[in-house]
Amino acid sequence: MAKINSHFSKLCSNYLFPEIQKRVASFKEAADPSLSFLNLGIGDVSKPIAPPIAEAIAVAAEKMSQKESIRGYGPENGYAFLRQAIFEDTYSNLDLSADEIFISDGSKCDTANILDIFSQDNVVAIADPSYPVYVDSTVMSGRSGHANQQGQYEGIVYLPCTKESNFLALPPSRHCDLIYLCSPNNPTGTAFSRKQLESWVSYAHEHQAIIFFDTAYRSFITDQTLPKSIFEIPGAHEVAIEFHSFSKSAGFTGLRCAYTVISKRLMALDSQKKQSIWKLWKRRQSSKFGGLSYITQCAAKASLSKKARQYIKEDIQNYMQGCQRLKKALEDLNYTCYGGINAPYLWCETPQDMSSWDFFDLLLQRVQLITVPGRGFGPAGEGYVRLSAFATEKTIDEAISRLMQLHVVSPSICC
Ligand code: MLT
């Protein structure tokens, strides 16, 4: 009989977001059908794509329907028109070229697939808590070892993001080879300063390590002193790979488009010889990725236009205003909340001694508010829930009013 990849049996049973959906569905099944649910759980956009993006989609579809402008297979790394637009938008002052940008259908897949090109012997370090894809794909790739009773994998180096470190990962005292970082960090909503990022780049040089730097939320940074790309840091080109997605920055969760930036200067060892990571990723993508649709790439290019940017800017401001309102309401109810300034996520302490899953259940059952239990993002997420502000104004207002109501009815829920 065929055998499975045994590393899959080391995973916890469900991916975090389907697990939440399952618990919500099972509660709904038994609940009063008139109840309405408010989703501040998964970070999925609630605003439509900007009109210039929709127009670009229609034009691209029309082109594909004409025999003189049909498009078949595109380049695996993306059309030059999109790579050039991204380069001009973000990387032209950062000592990179359009050729060092690889288009894909999501940072979720890119941050998981990147492990393909690295040896099994590498020690993987991951911020804790973090986007669950990093841990899950490290487990699937056979680099994690087994989980202990606390659900922590013995082969992964967890980099605790605690109150003391502003919920960001700091360089460890031990050696690591591959390091997953996200800034602004999902789920804690806090972002690295230039100095902190410099300390990571020097750690990576000292240890000949590579940083996987996820910038999915960088469009939400309001503090203009914070770096938006790791390539703003001198020396990063030799030690970092950057990931960015249009999902959150241009509302592409349903359209799918992202990219990975790898400098041609980035090298890693193959026995005693140095190999170009840029070449290996290009090789990997040409075999395993069929390229992103022409239509979606036209949409992504349109999202970088001046006209679309105006709409997107308004959407982002709107999400962030909702985030501020929610944060203030929670603080007025004596909750301690972090994040929400440079990312649309609030990292909220659970009430006295309540576990993150228990508080998730309480909010779901008592006020039908869907959040994400911090524990789902890693062991250091225990004691917190994440609230997403990717919601409409109406949802945020209703969430605030239900939370206030909950505290009137149950003043004993004490923070
Ligand atoms: C999240 O809610 O953490 C993310 O939006 C989920 C995702 O990007 O897959």
Name the phi and psi angles at 397, rounded to 5. -60, -40
Q: Please tell me the distance between residue 273's alpha carbon and the centre of ligand 1 in angstroms.
A: 38
Cα–Cα distance measured from residue 229 to residue 279, given in angstroms and rounded to the nearest whole number: 22
131: CB partners within 8 A, 6+ apart: 111, 182, 186, 187, 214, 377
Q: Please tell me the distance between residue 314's alpha carbon and the centre of ligand 1 in angstroms.
A: 21
What pLDDT, on the 0 to 100 scale, is given for residue 414?
67
What pLDDT, on the 0 to 100 scale, is given for residue 333?
96
Name residue 411's beta-bridge partners: none
What pLDDT, on the 0 to 100 scale, is given for residue 322?
98
Low-confidence ranges of the chain (pLDDT < 70): 414-415
Helix, strand, coil percentages, rounded to 5, for the chain = 45, 15, 40
**Nearest one of 238, 243, 231, 241 to 266, comparing CA atoms:** 238
Cα–Cα distance measured from residue 128 to residue 21, given in angstroms and rounded to the nearest whole number: 23
DSSP 273: E
Using the atom order of ligand 1, give the atom closest to the CA of residue 133: 9
Cα–Cα distance measured from residue 90 to residue 75, given in angstroms and rounded to the nearest whole number: 21
Cα–Cα distance measured from residue 262 to residue 206, given in angstroms and rounded to the nearest whole number: 20
CB 57 within 8 A of CB 295: yes
CB 386 within 8 A of CB 346: yes
What pLDDT, on the 0 to 100 scale, is given for residue 151?
86
Report long-range pairs for 270-275 (Cβ below 8 Å, ≥24 apart): none
What pLDDT, on the 0 to 100 scale, is given for residue 180?
98
CB 158 within 8 A of CB 380: yes
Does any ligand 1 atom lie closer than 6 A to the CB of residue 43? Answer: yes
Q: Please tell me the distance between residue 139's alpha carbon and the centre of ligand 1 in angstroms.
A: 19
Tell me the two tokens of residue 281: 């990723």
- Predicted TM-score of the model (pTM): 0.96
Which helix or strand (DSSP H or E) is residue 158 part of? strand 156-160
H helices of 219-339, where? Answer: 246-250, 277-288, 294-303, 306-332
Q: Please tell me the distance between residue 257's alpha carbon and the centre of ligand 1 in angstroms.
A: 14
What pLDDT, on the 0 to 100 scale, is given for residue 413?
76
Using the atom order of ligand 1, give the atom closest to the CA of residue 107: 8
Does any ligand 1 atom lie closer than 6 A to the CB of residue 374? Answer: no
What pLDDT, on the 0 to 100 scale, is given for residue 408?
85
Name the phi and psi angles at 384, rounded to 5. -135, 160
